[in-house]
Amino acid sequence: MSKKQERHVQIRSLLSRNHKMKTVELAKELAVTPETLRKDLDELQRQGLLIREHGSVRLYNASYETPVGVRQLDHVEEKRAISYYAFKQIQDGQVVYLDSSSTVILGLENLLLKKDVTVVTNSLIIAQKCMQYDCDVLIAGGHVIKTGSRTYDYFATSMIDSLCIDLAIIGSEGLKDAKGITTSYSELGFKKHVVQQAKKVLVVCDSSKFEQSSSYVFCKYDEVDLLVTTKLSDEQKMNIEGIQEIVEIEYVRK
C-alpha cells in the first residue's frame, strides 16, 4: 500500500469515528501539510466517499445527519440575523410551524415578543424551549432521530395533515444544483406535507447553503413565498428563480 493509500484509509477511519472533522484538525492528526490533505480530499471527494463543508469534511452517508448541536455552531451571527427577520413575520394569534433547522432554533427567543402563538414542530429542542416561553405547543409525534433531536414518519405526518398552518418557517440542507429547497432523506415526506398544509412558506438559510448540495427536494422554488438569507451573488439569485420574494440580510460581525 502506498503512503497516499495509507492516508486515505486513515482519513476514512478518522471520519468514521468522528463523523465530521475540521480540515485543520485532520491535517494535524495525519501530520501532513494542508496542500497534501487538500489533494487527498479532492481525490476522495471525486470518488464520492466524502463531503466537504466550509472547512470541515465528513464521510458520505445518505442517512447521516450532522447533529443539531454541531450545526448551531456554524455561521451563528448570520443565522441570528436571518432568524430575527423571519420571526418578525409571525403575527399574534397565528399557528406557526417551526422546523428543526439550527437557524430556526437560534431565533426562538423572538417568540417572547409575540402573543397567543401556537407552535407546531417536530423538534424536541424547539418544543421544550417554546414551553419555557409559555407558548401553546403541538409536537408531531413519531419516530425520534437522535442526531436531529426531531421526529418523523407516518405518525408525525398524520398530525400535520390534520392542521391548518398559517406560516411555516423551514431551513434547507443545501441549494447547490438543486431544483428547489432540500432536506435530508428521512425528513423529505414530512416536510412535503408541511408545505401542503401551510398558507405561507418562509425559508431561512445563509448563503453558505448555496455551496452545499442535497438530493432530496421537498419544496419547489415557486412554492416559497419568502426566502430570508444573507448577501447573494447574481449567479446565486439566477439559480433560485421562482421564489416570490427574497430578503438579503446584512449583519455585523462581532
**Burial class of residue 38 in the structure, from the number of CB atoms within 10 Å of its CB (0-12 exposed, 13-18 middle, 19+ buried):** middle
Residue appearing with cell numbers 398524520? 158
State pTM to two decimals.
0.73
Q: What is the pLDDT of residue 153?
A: 87
pLDDT grade for 181, boundaries at 50, 70 and 90: very high
* Interatomic CA distance for residues 58 and 83, integer angstroms: 27
Q: Is residue 253's pLDDT more than 70? A: no
Mean pLDDT of the chain: 88
Domains, the chain, with CATH or none: 3-61 (1.10.10.10), 70-249 (3.40.50.1360)
122-138, pLDDT tens digit by residue?
A: 999 999 999 988 899 99
Q: What is the pLDDT of residue 65?
A: 54
**Burial class of residue 161 in the structure, from the number of CB atoms within 10 Å of its CB (0-12 exposed, 13-18 middle, 19+ buried):** exposed
Q: State mean pLDDT over 227-254.
A: 87
pLDDT grade for 170, boundaries at 50, 70 and 90: very high
pLDDT grade for 232, boundaries at 50, 70 and 90: very high
CA nearest neighbour of 181 among 172, 169, 189:
172
What are the grid coordinates assigned to 32, written together? 501532513
Q: Is residue 227's pLDDT more than 80? A: yes
Alpha helices in 31-176 (DSSP H): 34-46, 68-71, 76-88, 102-105, 124-132, 154-160
Q: State mean pLDDT over 220-243.
A: 93
Contact 118, 92 (CB under 8 A): no
Q: What is the pLDDT of residue 230?
A: 94
* Interatomic CA distance for residues 16 and 9, integer angstroms: 10
Displacement of CA 217 from its chain's centroid (Å): 13
pLDDT top residue among 92 and 187:
92
- Buried b / exposed e along 54-86 (16+ C-beta atoms within 10 A): eebbbbeeeeebbebeebbebbeebbbbbbbbb
15-71, pLDDT tens digit by residue?
A: 877 778 899 999 999 999 999 999 999 988 887 778 888 888 887 654 445 555 555
End-to-end CA distance of the chain: give it in Å, rounded.
48
* Interatomic CA distance for residues 135 and 95, integer angstroms: 11
Q: What is the pLDDT of residue 62?
A: 45
pLDDT top residue among 53 and 198:
198
Q: What is the pLDDT of residue 54?
A: 80
